[in-house]
A and B are shown apart, each in its own frame.
Chain A
Amino acid sequence: MQELSGLNAPASPPASLPKHFFRREYANLVALLSRRIGVHHIEAIEDAVQSALMTALEQWGHSGAPGNPSAWLYRVAHRRVLDELRGAARRRAIISEQSDRVEASEAPLEVSFEQELPDDLLRMLFVCCDPQIPAASQLVFSLKVLCGFDVREIALRLFLSEANVYKKLSRARQRLHAMGKEGWDVAGNQQNDRLPTVHHVLYLLFTEGYLSSHAEQAIRRELCAEAIRLATLLTAHRIGQESTSRALRALMHLHMARLGSRQDETGALLLLEEQERSLWDQSEIQEGLKWLAASAEGETFSRYHAEAAIAAEHCLAPSFKDTRWHRVAELYELLEHVSPSPLHRLNRAIATAEWKGAQAGLAVLKGVEPPTWLAGSYLWSAAQSDLLRRAGEKEKARERALTAMKTAPNDAIRQLLKKRLMPPFH
């Protein structure tokens, strides 16, 4: 540790560090070291970074943080991972009596954080989206290496068991390990091939936060913020300077603007028509509209374009009643074309009901056989119950309402359904 002593600027008590410093450094160091040492050593890299952060935690409290904390951490983590790999190589050599040298050289210690880091982080995102890594593992692995969440935290956020998260991480690591040094080299055309997957992973990350039934709003907001951070990285890069990436970014801002008003002060979920529109974040709305305009160049029309445009309609409407429902209904129809899903049909029915009345809404659903996952979900029965009640079919409406409440995933949603679907008699 001798070479580090000079970096310790005397300062006491410890200065406070920027928000999310440890999580950000985790992601930065994993990406920087994956480029320099090889992403097939991902496990050793993750361990070394964890251990460097622990050392920082122990030392900086006493001696104060060094002048350049990122450079300090990089040096410590770099040394640890090389030590670990050399140690492992030596152990293998003893067993097999072969010399098995670690190829990683003593990389120059100077890293240009401002120039190289965004590239390395973005590359890491494309590495996570390797087509040979199962889709569910791509998201989990991204949360680990790009957001710095650990197994427990990922399990909590995605409603998975820790064992399941662990298994998904292993899958991704195995694939990277098998790829060898080439795992990092995602060529230009491969980058283009992987771009839709990158979009999808960022979209999932965002919706996991936005739609989550997680009780703590802070946790949900954090996931959305992570998705926006990575989308920002993408749209700042040459590869993300295209229509779909911009539409995705627009969609995120236009939803983020309304996140805070989706719950009342007791934490109960609020319907769109009950939300206090003055609470919507105008700066997020402006940012979203800016990206939506930028996404309109070219021929592409993706599901993100449709979803962003729908979100923009809501953001710009002066009230629930004065929403341009015909426009919303049309956009859902477009969304159905680019991304067929009965859920989009359901939303179209709801918008149509606001536009032309409950009967017209029910007509949109006529003949639609929902797949089992949707038929068994509260969304389907709740929307039907609402439309039926407004169309005057009280008995059928009540029956669907009971089904919806029975299948509600949590109490917040159950309360919301009760309020909406079973208004007190008067």
Chain B
Amino acid sequence: MSDIINIFIKSAFIENLALSYFLGMCSFLAVSKSVKTALGLGIAVVFVQGITMPINWLIDHYLLGEAGIFGMDLTFLRFIIFISTIAALVQLVEMVVEKVSPSLYNSLGIFLPLITVNCAILGGSLFMISKEYNFAQSVSFGLGGGIGWALAIVAIAGIREKLTYSHVPPALRGLGMAFFLTGLMGMAFMGLMGIDPAAFK
């Protein structure tokens, strides 16, 4: 149990997917102009990350792995299978959300389809494989990673909103400043490395 909480804290804060691995930067920079849209994308990422990670784990172990139903090592198919799973699941999540909660669907809007090509999702799945997590750990890694990413994008969006009122050199306006801010936020998150994971045991 303790290692599950440990992985959650670690993936949400210390090894933040957005600020220490720079995954999902395309949408991170494009959508972080206002807090409201950033929150929408953040929630969508938590959603999809939390669902795809366990499912990709199951596929990797019971379909592609040596102990799987085909009885042979099919791991070279990992990329194709993972990305198809993610694309299919995003479509599925979109349909379910539309049916169950139209208000949530409207607020997520265009962000759901965008998530298919968000590197944080595929990257999370590949990290989960390379770190050799078990099923419970992969669930907590998925949720933690998603929440960490959402936290980062909302924080950046808040700063960028305030920044509209300050005097930035014209050549740095917009994109350049966003890069500087992301770097500074990354340094701030590095301070969390001081958290001792052993304290959660």
Physical interaction between A and B: no
